[in-house]
Structure 1
Amino acid sequence: MEPLQTQGISLPRLGLGTFRLQGDACRAAVESALGLGYRHIDTAEMYGNEEAIGAAIAASGLARGDLHVTTKVWHENLAPDAIRRAFDASLNKLGLDRVDLYLVHWPSRNMNLPAIFETLMKLKQEGRTRAIGVANFNLALLKTVVEEIGAPIACNQVEYHVMLDQTPLRRYLGARSIPLVAYCPLAQGRVASDETLMAIGRKHGASAAQVALKWLLDQDGVAAIPKASRSESKKANLDALHVGLDDEDIKAIAALPKDKRCVNPAFAPVWD
């Protein structure tokens, strides 16, 4: 599957999410992912696992240019000086001289968006991150960043799966060739027991989760970062790339309810 090209970087369509993976278990999960062929690793300051991921990357022996690494700044650290401190700490823990993508993890109520993006742009100009972007930005915030500030964002990372509609956001991003990176692409495991997805899976010799993942990856401009600690799950997610969904399958998936949001903390923006 061809990677997505965005703001001068090449973003593999399928990555490994690492939220809640910690310590040795995280290191082992990332090492096995890299061994299986994953080349896109997603982490964040808040996950507390950048050190373990850095150790896995170092142990892999992969050339730095062959690997895409995303990390994020937490919403409590969005003042310019705090962003720099958080970025330096992340880079240090990862043991890297640069990351490929640095994201604002969540918006905050009182953030100064122009100041945030001025700081992020400087980090990009210094070559310490190859690209910048956002996560969990709703349409109104996205429009401010793209249209008013003119920030060259490389993606918006949001919750997206067969049980949650993101059509307005996807249309806006698509019209501007900005990728949508889907986290929780398997709805925190809920897709596995969905009767419709299971039936489609039986037809193709695939699991319900593989069907749900391929549905996302078949969409223009969409990447997905399922979390998986077990090697079997990581391999199954890679194998989802070979599932071929037909028009009947797409129609059946379109008919599923699309109102299930799994991640909605108190500090989340008002969703569109």
Structure 2
Amino acid sequence: MAVPQIKLNNGIEIPAIGLGTWQSKPEEVTNAVSYALKEAGYRHIDCAWAYGNEKDVGAGIRDSGVPRSEIFITSKVWGTWHSRVEEGLDQTLANLGTDYLDLYLIHWPVPLNPNGNHPVFPTLPDGVRDVDHAWKLSDTWKQLEAVLKKGKVKAIGVSNFSVAKLEEILPTAEIVPAVNQLELHVYNPQHDLIAYLKSKGIVPQAYSPLGSTNSPILTDEKVVEIAKKHSLNASDVLVGYLVAKGFVVLPKSVTPSRIASNITGPAVAAQKLTKEDIAELDGLAASGKQKRFASP
């Protein structure tokens, strides 16, 4: 079953299912990326400078033997690099061993002190994050637009942005973000934000589509019932539900069997799920199950 392609607002196509690499250990992620590309048919890898494993992701890409031109690679600029976007991007490109990215995102709408006491998570003396309140997100976005114009990236977007944060950049943006990468799953569907993104032509991307390790959504009664009805696994239903809604989905695994099943099963599920199934899944959070799993 071929993975659907989604057209971004600049005309570029992105594979609807990609391999997430957050929390993948460096020694495991090289093999995971290589297997995903070489054996499982993935053509989309989602990375970030802050994950601390981009060099190992790059090694996996090279080991796969798949030409760079066939792979869609995303990375993200971290909070301590908001005032130095191109410098941060250059580090990522060097880490990955490529001269361009297909998509570059603002990782969080939270500029952090670039001269603080830690390169990733600077803190104040009382232990609170050292946020650079003077820096404007609109200025970060201008720098993303600049690296796009230079050809170092093919598309730009955001991650973890609310409507309020998007409205800090959109009034002065020359280029509308192509995507907003969010924690999206049946327990955190963010319906109002999704409607807003669609009104602006911004594609939603889902991270943590299965929740977290030992997540309750994999054993949710309604999810299991729908999976049984269509002879699918619960994970197929959870990822397929998001694909059917037109989202890009980023399931993460370092286990070969799961990496393979996370791309084949959901592509089938997206075709099998009915409008009624999707409506039932859409309603789970509102029935009292609303929950986030990623709260850094």
TM-score normalised by structure 1 residue count: 0.91
1:146 aligns with 2:173: no
Amino acid of the structure 2 residue aligned with 1:92: A
Question: CA, structure 1 residues 165+2, in 2 after alignment: closer, same or farther (shift >3 Å)?
Answer: closer
More displaced stretch, 247-256 vs 70-79:
247-256
Could you tell me which residue of structure 2 aligns to residue 270 of structure 1?
none
1:217 to 243, 250, 253: 243
Gaps of 5+ in 2: 111-130
1:30 to 25, 33, 53: 33
Give distance in 2, aligned partners of 1:90 and 1:48. 10
Question: CA, structure 1 residues 255+115, in 2 after alignment: closer, same or farther (shift >3 Å)?
Answer: closer
Question: CA, structure 1 residues 251+115, in 2 after alignment: closer, same or farther (shift >3 Å)?
Answer: closer
Q: Where do residues 94-173 of structure 1 align in structure 2 (5 Å cutoff)? A: 94-108=96-110, 110=133, 111-173=135-197
Q: Where do residues 3-22 of structure 1 align in structure 2 (5 Å cutoff)? A: 3-6=5-8, 7-22=10-25
1:257 aligns with 2:261: no
Could you tell me which residue of structure 2 aligns to residue 40 of structure 1?
44
Give distance in 1, aligned partners of 2:283 and 2:143. 43
Amino acid of the structure 1 residue aligned with 2:102: D
2:223 to 184, 197, 203: 197
Question: CA, structure 1 residues 247+58, in 2 after alignment: closer, same or farther (shift >3 Å)?
Answer: same
The offset of 1:63, in angstroms, is 1.9
Residues 129-176 of structure 1, C-alpha deviations (whole Å, 9 max, x = no match): 111111001011112322343433110001100111311111111122
8 Å CA contact 1:72, 1:102 repeated in 2: yes
Question: CA, structure 1 residues 191+121, in 2 after alignment: closer, same or farther (shift >3 Å)?
Answer: same
Amino acid of the structure 2 residue aligned with 1:104: I
Identity within the alignment, %: 34
1:231 to 256, 276, 282: 256
Give distance in 2, aligned partners of 1:148 and 1:87. 22
Give distance in 1, aligned partners of 2:35 and 2:136. 40
Say which SS state the counterpart of residue 99 (structure 1) adopts: coil
Give distance in 2, aligned partners of 1:198 and 1:42. 28
Give distance in 2, aligned partners of 1:97 and 1:202. 46
Could you tell me which residue of structure 2 aligns to residue 240 of structure 1?
266
Q: RMSD value over aligned CA atoms?
A: 1.5
Give distance in 2, aligned partners of 1:254 and 1:115. 36
1:87 aligns with 2:89: yes
Residues 159-204 of structure 1, C-alpha deviations (whole Å, 9 max, x = no match): 1001113111111111222100011111113321111111111111
Give distance in 2, aligned partners of 1:212 and 1:88. 35
Residues 208-266 of structure 1, C-alpha deviations (whole Å, 9 max, x = no match): 1111111111013x11001011111122211221121123322332331252111123x
Give distance in 2, aligned partners of 1:190 and 1:14. 22
Aligned length: 262
Amino acid of the structure 1 residue aligned with 2:251: P
Question: CA, structure 1 residues 34+235, in 2 after alignment: closer, same or farther (shift >3 Å)?
Answer: same
More displaced stretch, 237-246 vs 33-42:
237-246
Gaps of 5+ in 1: 266-272
Q: Where do residues 68-79 of structure 1 align in structure 2 (5 Å cutoff)? A: 68-79=72-83
8 Å CA contact 2:243, 2:266 repeated in 1: no
Amino acid of the structure 1 residue aligned with 2:103: L
Amino acid of the structure 1 residue aligned with 2:65: G
8 Å CA contact 2:176, 2:202 repeated in 1: no
TM-score normalised by structure 2 residue count: 0.84
Give distance in 1, aligned partners of 2:279 and 2:99. 46
The offset of 1:9, in angstroms, is 2.2
| Runs of 4+ displaced beyond 4 Å | none
Give distance in 1, aligned partners of 2:94 and 2:259. 27
Say which SS state the counterpart of residue 73 (structure 2) adopts: strand
Could you tell me which residue of structure 1 aligns to residue 56 of structure 2?
52
8 Å CA contact 2:148, 2:155 repeated in 1: yes
